[in-house]
Structure 1
Amino acid sequence: MSADDRRFEVLRAIVSDYVATREPVGSKSLAERHQLGVSPATIRNDMAALEDEGYIAQPHTSAGRIPTDKGYRLFVDRLSQVKPMSVGERRAIHAFLSQAVDLDDVLRRAVRSLAQLTHQVAVVQYPTLTRSHVRHVEVVTLDRRRLLLVVITDTGRVEQRTVDLGDDVEVDDEMVTRLRALFAAHAVGRRLPEAADAVAELARTTDPSLRPVVEPAVAALLGSLVEQHEERLVLSGTSHITGAWADQPETLRGVLEALDEQVTLLKLMAALESPDAVRVSIGQEIADENLASSALVSAGYGTGTMVMGGVAVVGPTRMDYPGTMAAVRAVARYVGEIVAGR
């Protein structure tokens, strides 16, 4: 074993012990707890080298060492494989998610499972509407002056809008049939941004006799096709925050603000490029001072190479990275299979 490989084994042991105990790790405890195959003196020398290179730090004089963000980064990058979940765990996740009755229920169950598996804050993103296709547009008569529009996407999302036509317009069955045909021709089968552009043209190009109905209906339909940022994320496990950051109470307020505002989380989700890849962002890599002492483990879900949305866990940098990465990847895969199959 080379000196570099041996030092990485020492770093791996420090990460493991610090995650488990939350206490700085000394060379004596490393020699006692881990079969590193070298003397305590060699371990001390390796720890000194790791500290010089910025992978570990000494928080207090005469204390042991703790991993730095750089140390966690090296540890994550050199994981030979993500710790697999047990067959029982995978079956339990799949069975729980499969019982969902609709898209909202799928995401609620997914985020709850992830929070319970990792004991951290879990986040699931609604399928990104810009990547969704319109599967169906239904037009229903509520009364002579009101319509109900129902838009269903290929990701299982259902949007409803009521159309008030005003006192000067009365709708009949023929108008509803024509309106339904127009929306089917211009919206169904298209990605939402393209459907919005096509539908917007209807108010200008449609038969003047139908325009008093088409114009308000188009306005309502566009409201369904435009991205709804305020409902993009579902969170669970916020009760874990106090315990997870118990040794860093000064960071709690910032973490809560970041989770509440969601802007950083959405940016990180938007960077996900493949349903199969797990991404780990650590400390300053997140580019948000409120999350400077945090890590985010995320994965996209979807079908084939298309990412529909993201799944993530937010916790302190001192987290069980192998276990968290396995849980995030498993939940993301199941959510992708269920959403793509709807």
Structure 2
Amino acid sequence: MTATDERRFEVLRAIVTDYVATQEPIGSKALLDRHKLGVSSATVRNDMAVLEAEGYIAQPHTSSGRVPTDKGYRLFVDRIAEVKPLSRAERRAILSVLDSSVDLDDVLRRSVKLLAELTRQVAVIQYPVLSRATVRHLEVVALTPSRLLLVVITDSGRVEQRMVALGRDVSDDEMILLRDLFAAALDGKRLAEASAAVAEVANSAPPEMSEVVIAIAAVLIETLVEREADRLVLGGTSNLARASADFSADLGGMDAVLDALEEQVVVLKLLARTQSTDRVTVQIGRETRSDNLRGASVVSTAYGASGTVLGSVGVLGPTRMDYPNTIASVAAVAKYVGEVLGER
């Protein structure tokens, strides 16, 4: 990058920073007053004219200052050299909130609440993708001689409990046999493999145990099949009201964004583009490929444990957002969610 290009990027950086802070179009005089650019007003005006011609900034109204475009935000985000570290106090706050959670559902609820507070945007986290999870333990508890409680625990921290009504009473010896059969089939297997293993147990069960084994297998297979209804947790939706002016009518307004959030499959597709736990993905405006989110940006990353990606976490807000802080907050929360789940 030439010295001229670098100088123009500094002008762009200043425009982005000021516009995010003020929500007002930025003029050359304001830039010179607020930033030590080290050049004349004529040079700043010329640089702004070039940036506008190249599509990085735009003039929303005649005789007004300039605002960043999606292309301008993209260049700004791409030039963020490194993720800004959170303060020691912010890191302690995240850990204290997540460490005191009681189960997976609580971890996810606390995570989105915390991320929404840190970024002042809408936070979203995906439940651990079950197809990537491994069965850590199966417990079979006899509630009565003919009624069992099945507890499936995955390495992602998810706990599924199911009741099974049997066609007859089972003895203590049969209970031991059932525990051994299904534990051997499930322990340490990915959920897709575990489903097949459970079906094999049902196929090869001793004739005298066939009815009982099939009843248990049917409930386990249904438990192991990934459900779609509860895949996302959202927090901070009320933050959209603060940014309502950013979602102009020509971009569908705030109603379009709310519709996208309600249609979870849209958000899931955006999160699915995040495949790595060591990289934060930023999708700006039309990069979201959603008509309802043309005025929004999504900042997301994957979270995981023991080297396995379990799901994604991120925030959604207007394109006029504090990208350095948002990227840092998303990365930190994802890191600590993975650590907390990995310890359970």
TMscore range, shorter length: over 0.9
Q: Secondary structure at the match of 1:23?
A: coil
Q: Which residue of 2 aligns with 1:153?
A: 154
| 1:178-327 aligned within 5 A | 178-248=177-247, 250=249, 251-327=253-329
What TM-score, normalized by structure 2, do the two folds share?
0.95
Check conservation: 1:26, 1:65, Cα contact below 8 A. yes
What TM-score, normalized by structure 1, do the two folds share?
0.96
Q: Which residue of 2 aligns with 1:142?
A: 143
The offset of 1:195, in angstroms, is 0.5
Q: What is the rounded CA distance, in whole Å, between the counterparts of 2:117 and 2:138 in structure 1?
A: 37
Deviates more, 1:224-233 or 1:327-336: 224-233
Deviations 1:156-175 (A, max 9, x none): 11001111234xx3333232
Q: Secondary structure at the match of 2:257?
A: helix
Check conservation: 2:277, 2:304, Cα contact below 8 A. yes
Q: What is the rounded CA distance, in whole Å, between the counterparts of 1:77 and 1:18 in structure 2?
A: 18
Deviates more, 1:306-315 or 1:240-249: 240-249
Q: What is the rounded CA distance, in whole Å, between the counterparts of 1:54 and 1:184 in structure 2?
A: 61
Check conservation: 2:306, 2:342, Cα contact below 8 A. no
Question: Partner letter of residue 55 of structure 2?
Answer: G
Q: What is the rounded CA distance, in whole Å, between the counterparts of 1:103 and 1:68 in structure 2?
A: 39
Q: What is the rounded CA distance, in whole Å, between the counterparts of 1:73 and 1:44 in structure 2?
A: 22
Question: Partner letter of residue 147 of structure 1?
Answer: L
Q: Which residue of 2 aligns with 1:335?
A: 337
The offset of 1:312, in angstroms, is 0.3
Please state if 1:105 is matched with 2:74: no
Question: Partner letter of residue 337 of structure 2?
Answer: V
Q: What is the rounded CA distance, in whole Å, between the counterparts of 1:229 and 1:50 in structure 2?
A: 45
Q: Which residue of 1 aligns with 2:87?
A: 86
**RMSD across aligned positions (CA):** 1.4
Please state if 1:71 is matched with 2:72: yes
Please state if 1:114 is matched with 2:115: yes
Question: Partner letter of residue 194 of structure 2?
Answer: A
Q: What is the rounded CA distance, in whole Å, between the counterparts of 1:189 and 1:201 in structure 2?
A: 16
Deviates more, 1:92-101 or 1:172-181: 172-181
The offset of 1:123, in angstroms, is 0.9
Aligned sequence identity (%) = 59
The offset of 1:142, in angstroms, is 2.3
Check conservation: 1:275, 1:304, Cα contact below 8 A. no
The offset of 1:249, in angstroms, is 5.6
Q: What is the rounded CA distance, in whole Å, between the counterparts of 1:53 and 1:19 in structure 2?
A: 21
Question: Partner letter of residue 213 of structure 1?
Answer: V
Deviates more, 1:140-149 or 1:104-113: 140-149
Deviates more, 1:114-123 or 1:157-166: 157-166
The offset of 1:90, in angstroms, is 0.9
Deviations 1:256-281 (A, max 9, x none): 11111111221222232221211111
Deviations 1:71-97 (A, max 9, x none): 101000011122221111111111121
Q: What is the rounded CA distance, in whole Å, between the counterparts of 1:254 and 1:175 in structure 2?
A: 57
Q: What is the rounded CA distance, in whole Å, between the counterparts of 2:176 and 2:255 in structure 1?
A: 54
Q: Gaps spanning 5+ residues in structure 2: where? A: none
Structure 1 residues 116, 125: CA separation in 2 closer, same or farther (over 3 Å shift)? Answer: same
Check conservation: 2:246, 2:295, Cα contact below 8 A. no
Deviations 1:159-195 (A, max 9, x none): 01111234xx333323222211111111111011111
The offset of 1:126, in angstroms, is 1.6
Please state if 1:177 is matched with 2:176: yes
Q: What is the rounded CA distance, in whole Å, between the counterparts of 2:151 and 2:246 in structure 1?
A: 49
Deviations 1:117-137 (A, max 9, x none): 111111112221111110111
Q: Which residue of 1 aligns with 2:55?
A: 54
The offset of 1:60, in angstroms, is 1.3
The offset of 1:304, in angstroms, is 4.9
The offset of 1:9, in angstroms, is 0.5
Q: Secondary structure at the match of 1:328?
A: helix
Check conservation: 1:274, 1:305, Cα contact below 8 A. no
Q: Which consecutive aligned stretches of 4+ in structure 1 deviate over 6 angstroms post-superposition?
A: none
Q: Gaps spanning 5+ residues in structure 1: where? A: none
The offset of 1:61, in angstroms, is 1.4
- The alignment covers a number of residue pairs equal to 340
Check conservation: 1:272, 1:307, Cα contact below 8 A. no
Q: What is the rounded CA distance, in whole Å, between the counterparts of 1:304 and 1:214 in structure 2?
A: 33
Q: Secondary structure at the match of 2:124?
A: strand
The offset of 1:245, in angstroms, is 2.6
The offset of 1:33, in angstroms, is 1.0
